[in-house]
Chain A
Amino acid sequence: MSTTDSARVQPPPERQLPTGLGGRLARRRRAGMTGDGAASDTVADRGIGMLLILPAVALLAIFIIYPLVKAVGYSFLNWDGVGPKTSAGLSNYTALWKNSVERSALEHAGILIVFFAIIPTFLGLVAAALIARIPRKGLVVYRVIYFLPQVLVTVVVAIVWTWLLAPSGGGTVNAIINLFGFHVHTAWLGDFSTAMISLGLIAVWLDFGLCFVLFLSGVQRISPSLYEAARVDGASLFDEFFRITVPMLRREIGVALTITTVASLQSFTLIYAATNGGPGNATIVPGLLVYRDAFQLGAVGSASAIGVALALLTFIFTVVIRMLLEPPGNRRRMRLRLRPRRA
């Protein structure tokens, strides 16, 4: 082996990496030097450590790992919850696209992603971009207001929106529209053709503020001189948006999309309280099907299959969004971050 080779494999750590606060720790970690740090009793440390993580391990084993394994197991069974269990093979999974209810639940989940995630992100971006052009102080109050829907108990949101979307009555959406000379009397949540879109509007109301707040804080980091320079160069509003605002907010967009997509896949509470999947199955979603199958129809196997599918979708979306929005150079680091660094 040549000397240059070994030098590359084992760099003298202090020489190559930055000094300074935190640098030493990171340096020693990267150089594989932890574990031989302090001359203290590591064995005793580990023993005490095991003892201290024991409650967490027990809780997670009993209420996360074991149920997860069980859920996967159930998903291959025909079981009504009381009687004997029989193998179902993959039928609970194939039903996801063969059965019309399951299929429409998945379709609705897709529609909801548009309303929960894509529309609020887009609106939030546009609004933030317009604000960004003018430096402004005192946004704290606005921030507090916009974020408010996120901390409202979901059932409360459902209740107030069933009021607002009622066919008639003071203060309803219809009443506001009719102020402009229309005569609308749609039962928004009760009509097959409008129920899904109406739920979508609630979702937009819920998540717009979250996106806006996130993008506002991001946009305030963009130097105004960037916009001024662009304007001097003759950039249009459109250019400013796609060339400056969107690229600079890449990270925030990723965060917003992740949060809102996960929220849309797990929108059980809102829909249970607002429409309970109705009218008919017009607003059925996977979460509702899980609840119905498992606790009302005695189809534990199919409920579990839907649950597992939902979990997989959550993971896939999270990962895909991150892949799309991380700058290419960071992708490797992103993968590594999933694994805990040696602590």
Chain B
Amino acid sequence: MASITLNAVSKTYSNDVQAVDDVSLDIADGELMVLVGPSGCGKTTLMRMISGLERVTAGQIKIGDRDVTMAAPKERDVAMVFQNYALYPHMTVAENIGFPLRLRGVGKREIATKVAAATEILGLSQSESRRPPELSGGQRQRVAMGRAIVREPSVFLMDEPLSNLDAKLRVEMRSEILNIQRRVGVATVYVTHDQTEAMTMGDRVAVLEAGRLLQCDVPQTIYDEPANVTVAAFIGSPAMNLFEGTLGADGTLRIGEETLTLEPATLPSGLRGAGEHPVIFGVRPEDLRVAGEGDSFITGTVELVEALGSDLLVHMDTSARRAQLPEFGGDDELPPEAEVSGRGRFVARLEPRAGVRIGDTLRLTPDPARTHFFDPASGQKTR
């Protein structure tokens, strides 16, 4: 058991692709750290560098007090669960789980005891003598977990372990993995592109993009206080509404032809009374509500209404200009709403019985305490 320390770690491939760029991160003993980000953000590479499967170009990696930057994978005492499980197809479940012990020269009887204990925890006792091709997806996943825990490693690495399972099983396995992780209490790095997994599983979440660490914090803070516009756009579904605008000294926000008057006290101190500022204004769908008397509002035409039962997702067309954001990898990894909410559209999560219909003209007002301002040049949150 140990902590993991990443010290300004970088990875440059031989063809000059910078996969990981100057990432520093501390993962406490027993903590589950989720690395999340769009496809190609470097999260997997970063994890593979911790495992030793990938060489570090610059920086330092420590496990506990030990500098393992140049150590071979097997000297690092890490266990990894692979995306495709990487079970040995010619070995039975018991042999698969016992293999790391066998390689360490552990005695046969001890292996049997430990394997039995692991299969017990994982509910695999009935299938000990079966081989991977005969197992279901969930069982294979458990075997992979078993092989990792049986060694009692200092560090656990999981590379998108749930991405090959169907949706229902994924939810089940999420809590199961959490249980096991709590039980063994080992520092764990968990890579995923799925923000729901990130939010639900991580003690802390590290958001990466283009090889850089954008923000690392507990899930609620990542959600409530995104450090920059990319994190804001990536975390949350439907995504945060992000629009280009100008903020006047008096708290007047102009986005497109719309004007919102905001209480200067609710603005970040950096923006108060400092003349005209170009900003990216952000507000989450659930932080918009139908404007009442005296509220400052944005107006538009309702283009689409999605009744989810618990809420109503309303897409409203306005003259505002959506902020230009970096494209995220594959389309499959974007929240589906992102596609629907095209340019100039506000998405609001309203009460289920708000009675909004397509074609209606709607006035929406943001919760003043929950607005976000980002610097259009750097993308960083303005404080």
Interface residues, chain A, with chain B CB atoms under 8 Å away: 10, 12-16, 19-21, 31-33, 35-41
Contacts and interface: CB of A to CB of B under 8 A. Distances in A.
Contacts, number: 61
A204 B45 CA distance: 57
B329 A38 contact: no
Interface of B: 13-17, 19, 39-40, 44-45, 52-56, 70-73, 83-84, 210, 329
A19 B40 CA distance: 10
A342 to B, nearest CB: 11
Given A39-B71, A40-B73, A32 B15 contact: yes
A37 B84 CA distance: 19
Given A10-B16, A14-B44, A32-B14, A37 B53 contact: yes
Contacts of A40: 52, 72-73
Contacts of A41: 72
Contact of A10 (B15, B54, B71): B15
Contacts of B84: 20-21
Contact of A36 (B14, B40, B72, B329): B14
Interface centre among A32, A35, A40 (most CB of B within 10 A): A40
B53 A38 contact: yes
A90 B55 CA distance: 57
7 smallest beta-carbon distances between A and B, as pairs = A15-B40, A14-B40, A32-B15, A39-B55, A33-B13, A40-B72, A21-B84
Given A15-B40, A15-B329, A39 B54 contact: yes
A15 B45 CA distance: 13
A37 B54 CA distance: 5
Given A14-B44, A15-B329, A41-B72, A36 B13 contact: yes
A37 B15 contact: no
B39 A19 contact: yes
**Most chain B CB inside 10 Å of its own CB: which residue of A14, A19, A31, A39:** A39
Given A14-B39, A14-B44, A39 B13 contact: no
B17 A38 contact: no
21 contacts: A10-B16, A12-B19, A13-B13, A13-B40, A14-B45, A15-B39, A15-B40, A15-B329, A31-B17, A32-B13, A32-B15, A33-B13, A36-B14, A37-B54, A37-B55, A38-B52, A38-B53, A38-B55, A39-B56, A39-B70, A40-B52
Contacts of B329: 14-15
Nearest to A15: B40
Of B17, B54, B73, B83, the most chain A CB neighbours within 10 A belong to B17
B73 A39 contact: yes
B181 to A, nearest CB: 24
Contact of B14 (A16, A19, A35, A39): A35
